[in-house]
Structure 1
Amino acid sequence: MNRNTLAVLVSFSLLLSNAQAAPAPEAARRLAQDATIVDTHIDAPEGLVDHWDDLALPTPGKEFDYPRAREGGLDVPFMSIYTSADQDDAGTAWQVANAMIDSVEALAQRHPDKFALLRSPKDLKRLQRGGKVLLAMGMENGAPLVDDIGNVAKFHARGVRYITLAHGRNNRISDSATDTQPRWHGLSPFGQQVVKEMNRVGIMVDVSHLSEDAIRQAVELSSVPVIASHSALRHFTPGFQRNLSDENVKAIAAKGGVVQVPFGSMFVDAPAAKAYADYVSAREAYRQAKLAAAAAGQAFTATEPQFPKVAPGSVAEVLDNIDRIVQLTGGADHAGIGSDFDGVNGALVSELHSVADYPVLVAGLQQRGYKDADIRKILGGNLLRVWSEVERAATP
Structure 2
Amino acid sequence: MLNRRRFLAMSAVAPVALRAQPGRQVHQHALIVDAHVHALDREFYHGGSMGTRYPDGQWDLVRAKEGGVGAFFLSIYVPEEYLPGRFETKQTLRRIDHALEQIRLNHDLVELALTPDDVAKIRARGKMAAILDIEGSYDLDGDLGVLRDLHRLGLRSAQLSAHNWNQHYADSCCSTPEHHGLTEHGREVIHTMNRLGIMINVSHSGDETIAQAIDVSSAPVFATHHGLRSVNNIPRNLSDEMLKKLAGKGGVIGFQIGSDFNNLRAYDYNTKQKGKTFWDTSNLKDRVQGKTIYEVDQMVAPGFPMIGPRLPDDVAMTVDEWVGVVDKAIQLAGEDHVGIGSDFDGGPPLARGMRDVRDLPMITDAMLRRGYSTGRIEKFWGGNAMRLFRDVTAQSNRS
TM category (shorter chain) comes to 0.7 to 0.9
Superposed structure 1 runs of 4+ greater than 6 Å apart? none
* Alignment partners' CA distance in 1, 2:150 and 2:82: 18
Deviations 1:144-183 (A, max 9, x none): 533411122211111111111111111213111111x111
Counterpart pick for 1:262 among 251, 256, 261: 256
Deviations 1:336-361 (A, max 9, x none): 000000100x6222233322111101
Tell me the TM-score normalized by structure 1: 0.84
* Alignment partners' CA distance in 1, 2:112 and 2:330: 31
Tell me the TM-score normalized by structure 2: 0.83
1:221-232 correspondence to structure 2 within 5 Å:
221-232=216-227
1:319 aligns with 2:323: yes
Counterpart pick for 1:340 among 343, 347, 363: 343
Structure 1 pair 133–199 and aligned structure 2 pair: CA distance change class (3 A)? same
* Greater Cα shift, 200-209 or 189-198: 189-198
Structure-2 residue corresponding to 1:251 = 245
| Contact 2:317-2:352 within 8 A present in 1 as well | yes
* Alignment partners' CA distance in 1, 2:310 and 2:126: 39
* Alignment partners' CA distance in 1, 2:262 and 2:49: 31
| Contact 1:142-1:173 within 8 A present in 2 as well | no
Structure-2 residue corresponding to 1:156 = 151
1:394 aligns with 2:396: yes
Q: Secondary structure at the match of 1:54?
A: coil
Letter in 2 for 1:319: V
Identity %: 32
Q: Secondary structure at the match of 1:209?
A: coil
Deviation at residue 100 of structure 1 after TM alignment: 1.7
Query: Mind listing any 5+ residue stretches in structure 2 that lack a counterpart?
Result: 1-15, 291-307
| Contact 2:133-2:156 within 8 A present in 1 as well | yes
Structure-2 residue corresponding to 1:53 = 48
Deviation at residue 57 of structure 1 after TM alignment: 2.6
Q: Secondary structure at the match of 2:276?
A: helix
1:57-76 correspondence to structure 2 within 5 Å:
57-76=52-71
Structure 1 pair 315–370 and aligned structure 2 pair: CA distance change class (3 A)? same
Structure-1 residue corresponding to 2:135 = 140
* Alignment partners' CA distance in 1, 2:354 and 2:330: 21
| Contact 2:75-2:134 within 8 A present in 1 as well | yes
* Root mean square deviation, CA, Å: 2.5
| Contact 1:64-1:354 within 8 A present in 2 as well | yes
Deviation at residue 389 of structure 1 after TM alignment: 0.5
Query: Mind listing any 5+ residue stretches in structure 1 that lack a counterpart?
Result: 1-21, 295-306
Structure-2 residue corresponding to 1:353 = 355
| Contact 2:37-2:342 within 8 A present in 1 as well | yes
Deviation at residue 319 of structure 1 after TM alignment: 0.7
Structure-2 residue corresponding to 1:280 = 277
Deviations 1:257-314 (A, max 9, x none): 10000111221111333454971389445558x58x99xxxxxxxxxxxx99954333
Letter in 2 for 1:34: H
1:368-387 correspondence to structure 2 within 5 Å:
368-387=370-389
Deviation at residue 130 of structure 1 after TM alignment: 3.9
Structure-1 residue corresponding to 2:30 = 35
